[in-house]
Chains A and B, each alone.
Chain A
Amino acid sequence: MKAVHVVQGTAVPLDRSDVDTDQIIPSDWLKRVERTGFEKGLFSEWRDGEDFVLNDEAYAGANILIGGPNFGTGSSREHAVWAIQQYGFDAVISPRFGPIFKNNSTKNGLVPVEVSAEVAETLMKAVQDDPSLEIMIDIKRRSLEAPAIGLEATFPLDDSVQERFLKGLDDIGITLTLDADISTFESSRPAWMPRGA
């Protein structure tokens, strides 16, 4: 994973609640065995509709996605995170995330910015009014700012997740340093626990 310190840019307002991962990347796309090439599948069913916000030229080049509450609920497919990133987004803002989606985001360096419903709504409206509104997300300060509208907010990020973002650390590498602890634990497991099939 690449280190992420700051995400700065403009945002797309996706004003819907319960955007599930089936919408983010429809299941046809899950048949692929590669890890890249998912940008075309992002919201592919909605993108066929002309008035879908991602098709609006005013938001071209945006690198932040603002969604309604319960963003990324449903299926565990990490393809949803890959699709959002490969399309060009570095952060997603929502008042509440589906937990697996949120976790998957942090494993890939996509910043899940969880803010209050008011902040999300203010930002959604501001971006609808002015697509060029600059937004800055700072991992170190756990802050979200849109200076032009005087908006400043913070968002939660576990210490360990923050550190992984800032240093670009690989989870597996970290865990493997605890190999001895894992072996000790394994030696204490009851022998009757299932194995094989």
Chain B
Amino acid sequence: MGRTLSQKVWDNHLVHSGDGEPDLLYIDLHLVHEVTSPQAFDGLRLTGRTVRRPELTIATEDHNVPTADIDKPIADEVSRAQVETLRKNTDEFGITNYPMGHPDQGIVHVIGPELGLTQPGMTVVCGDSHTSTHGAFGALAFGIGTSEVEHVLATQTLPQPAQETMAITINGELPEGSSAKDVVLAVLGAVGTGGGIGAIAEFRGPVIEALSMEGRMTVCNMSIEFGAKAGLIAPDQTTFDYLAGRRNAPTGADWDAAVAAWSELKTDPDAVFDREVIIDGKDIVPHVTWGTNPGQVIPLDANIPSPSDFSDPTEADAANRALEYMGFEAGTPMKNIAVDTVFIGSCTNSRIEDLRAAAEVAKGRKVANGMRTLVVPGSGRVKAQAESEGLHEIFIEAGFDWREPGCSMCLAMNPDKLSPGERSASTSNRNFEGRQGRGGRTHLVSPAVAAATAIAGHFATPGDLS
């Protein structure tokens, strides 16, 4: 029987396997940031261990960094101490770190791909659940905890129990105005927050094949939101074109050898998946979350559901709580809901294509009165690219706040936060209670919907703007 993409990558990284033991996998790329690594480096020091392959380990500062006044020291002392700890640790163990203000700094899942570090067929880990992003290249990429960070630092391997495989096929074509974000929100609506637990997902089908690398990263980014260990997409010409010429990509004869190897990775025609989900692309209209988990999602032109719409008592109960937290009346049309803040950023939607999509909507328009808006590029390189295309001017002219790269209001560890009761339209990946600031209410949307919402003052698609 044939093998799936993820099984091939898995097999190619087997260091050791034994009965009743998890497989020991080799890790090709270990990404590190300031939040989940300090205790791991401490562990190494305590046990007198060292970093086995510092050159396969890359660090950056993203979660805590401010997105304004970055020429000054970080004002929050605890954040500053954490960033300084990363600098000290990477110095001590000989690891490259891209510090705040460096042209290559950015959100860890944005810089890996853009520096060409993420390549097909690799294993990629990071102490961060959205490591699934890198699966867009056909890499087996997943988030790990701090104990595992320490394990990878010390051994460059990770013990992993076998996983099921899950195919998510998106057939047909997307309707005009829908984006990769809507694809993954629709998948979440279909499978729920637990639908991928215990499995590695592979996204496939014509809609996925037609997506750019940026779009594929958006889709894979949110695999973790339905509980999948990882989400992969088979590498193809789009992948190779994206990688060619990037700083860490192979060149010359190596490039040819690499492309030949990468081309072998796709799922064999006779491979069988343990789970299958099929979605028709034409049903994927722009989506928005209404509740406090990413599975609580509806089409933008639908009404807010009522707990009685859910037959499962647990879901009904969760809906009840979510409505209360979000300050909602069931049955209200989503498009009638006014928004206080729009955040365009995060490892889901802060790449150049996302900023282009938002700028296209913003161009020649003005944000609604009293609306707070943040546009936070995913990296220094994205920012530079956007500025070379003049996107920042479009945003600034429309009244958006143009910021420095980082995680920012995706999780509000830096000064960019919602106040209690404030409502945001956000291009990020998590609408959990308090995720963007204590008491804040988050709605996940695509960049185009975020920009249109900023202008309309309430949830809207670009098509709704006059």
Produce 1/0 per residue, B21-38, CB < 8 A to A. Answer: 110101011000001101
Can you list 17 pairs linking A and B with CB atoms under 8 Å apart?
A18-B292, A33-B38, A34-B39, A45-B438, A70-B194, A75-B129, A76-B127, A78-B147, A100-B143, A107-B145, A158-B161, A160-B161, A172-B47, A172-B150, A175-B157, A194-B116, A196-B55
Q: What residue of chain A has the Cβ atom nearest to residue B47's Cβ?
A: A172
List chain B residues, Cβ under 8 A from A191.
254
Seen from chain B, the residues whose Cβ lies within 8 Å of a Cβ on chain A are: 15-16, 20-22, 24, 26, 28-29, 35-36, 38-39, 42, 47, 49, 52, 55-56, 58, 63-64, 76, 78-79, 81-82, 85, 96, 98, 104, 115-117, 119, 122, 127-129, 143-148, 150-151, 154-157, 159, 161, 193-194, 197-198, 224, 227, 229, 247-250, 254-255, 257-258, 261, 292-293, 295, 314-315, 317-318, 321, 411-413, 430, 432-435, 438
Q: Which of A26, A31, A172 contacts B82 (CB under 8 A)?
A: A31
Are A175 and B29 within 8 A (Cβ)?
A: no
Are B293 and A20 within 8 A (Cβ)?
A: yes
Apart from A73-B227, A76-B145, A192-B258, what 14 extra A-B contacts exist at CB < 8 Å? A18-B292, A22-B411, A27-B411, A31-B35, A35-B39, A78-B127, A99-B198, A100-B144, A158-B161, A172-B47, A178-B24, A193-B28, A193-B119, A197-B98
Q: Which of A31, A70, A73, A175 contacts B24 (CB under 8 A)?
A: A175
List chain A residues, Cβ under 8 A from B197.
70, 96-99
Are B151 and A78 within 8 A (Cβ)?
A: no
Are B314 and A68 within 8 A (Cβ)?
A: yes
Q: Which of A28-46 contact B (CB under 8 A)?
A: 28, 30-35, 45
Give chain A nearest CB distance to B144 CB in angstroms: 6
Are A27 and B412 within 8 A (Cβ)?
A: yes
Are B194 and A69 within 8 A (Cβ)?
A: yes
Are A160 and B26 within 8 A (Cβ)?
A: no
Q: Which of A22, A70, A160, A182 contacts B15 (CB under 8 A)?
A: A182
Bound together, the chains give a CA A158 to CA B122 distance in angstroms of 26
Give chain A nearest CB distance to B342 CB in angstroms: 21
List chain B residues, Cβ under 8 A from A192.
250, 254-255, 257-258
Give chain B nearest CB distance to A94 CB in angstroms: 11
List chain A residues, Cβ under 8 A from B432.
20, 22-23, 74
Bound together, the chains give a CA A159 to CA B20 distance in angstroms of 6
Are B413 and A78 within 8 A (Cβ)?
A: no
Bound together, the chains give a CA A103 to CA B229 distance in angstroms of 11
Using known A-B contacts A175-B157, A182-B156, determine if residue A35 contacts B433 with beta carbons closer than 8 Å: no
List chain B residues, Cβ under 8 A from A196.
55, 96, 248
List chain A residues, Cβ under 8 A from B127.
76, 78
Q: Which of B154, B227, B261, B438 contacts A176 (CB under 8 A)?
A: B154
Classify chain A's interface size. Answer: 35 or more
Give chain A nearest CB distance to B316 CB in angstroms: 10
Give chain B nearest CB distance to A112 CB in angstroms: 12
Using known A-B contacts A33-B39, A45-B433, A70-B194, determine if residue A195 contacts B56 with beta carbons closer than 8 Å: yes
Using known A-B contacts A32-B78, A76-B36, A182-B155, determine if residue A16 contacts B318 with beta carbons closer than 8 Å: yes
List chain B residues, Cβ under 8 A from A195.
55-56
Bound together, the chains give a CA A192 to CA B64 distance in angstroms of 34
Tell yes or no: A171 within 8 A of B by CB: yes
Using known A-B contacts A27-B411, A197-B117, determine if residue A172 contacts B154 with beta carbons closer than 8 Å: yes
CB-based A-B contact count at 8 angstroms: 199
Q: What residue of chain B has the Cβ atom nearest to residue A159's Cβ?
A: B20
Q: What residue of chain A has the Cβ atom nearest to residue B199's Cβ?
A: A99
List chain A residues, Cβ under 8 A from B229.
99
Tell yes or no: A104 within 8 A of B by CB: yes
List chain B residues, Cβ under 8 A from A190.
254, 257-258, 261
Using known A-B contacts A16-B318, A45-B438, A76-B145, determine if residue A160 contacts B122 with beta carbons closer than 8 Å: no
Give chain B nearest CB distance to A146 CB in angstroms: 21
Using known A-B contacts A73-B227, A175-B155, determine if residue A103 contacts B148 with beta carbons closer than 8 Å: yes
List chain B residues, Cβ under 8 A from A18.
193, 292-293, 295, 318
Are B151 and A172 within 8 A (Cβ)?
A: yes
Tell yes or no: A181 within 8 A of B by CB: yes
Tell yes or no: A108 within 8 A of B by CB: yes
Bound together, the chains give a CA A97 to CA B194 distance in angstroms of 9
Are A74 and B145 within 8 A (Cβ)?
A: no
Give chain A nearest CB distance to B48 CB in angstroms: 12
Tell yes or no: A186 within 8 A of B by CB: yes
Tell yes or no: A17 within 8 A of B by CB: yes
List chain A residues, Cβ under 8 A from B16.
178, 181
Tell yes or no: A77 within 8 A of B by CB: yes
Q: Which of A121-166 contact B (CB under 8 A)?
A: 158-160
Bound together, the chains give a CA A100 to CA B22 distance in angstroms of 15
List chain A residues, Cβ under 8 A from B116.
194
Using known A-B contacts A33-B81, A100-B144, A175-B157, determine if residue A160 contacts B24 with beta carbons closer than 8 Å: no
Q: Which of A45-80 contact B (CB under 8 A)?
A: 45, 68-70, 73-79
Q: Which of A16, A34, A107 contacts B321 (CB under 8 A)?
A: A16
List chain B residues, Cβ under 8 A from A186.
26, 156
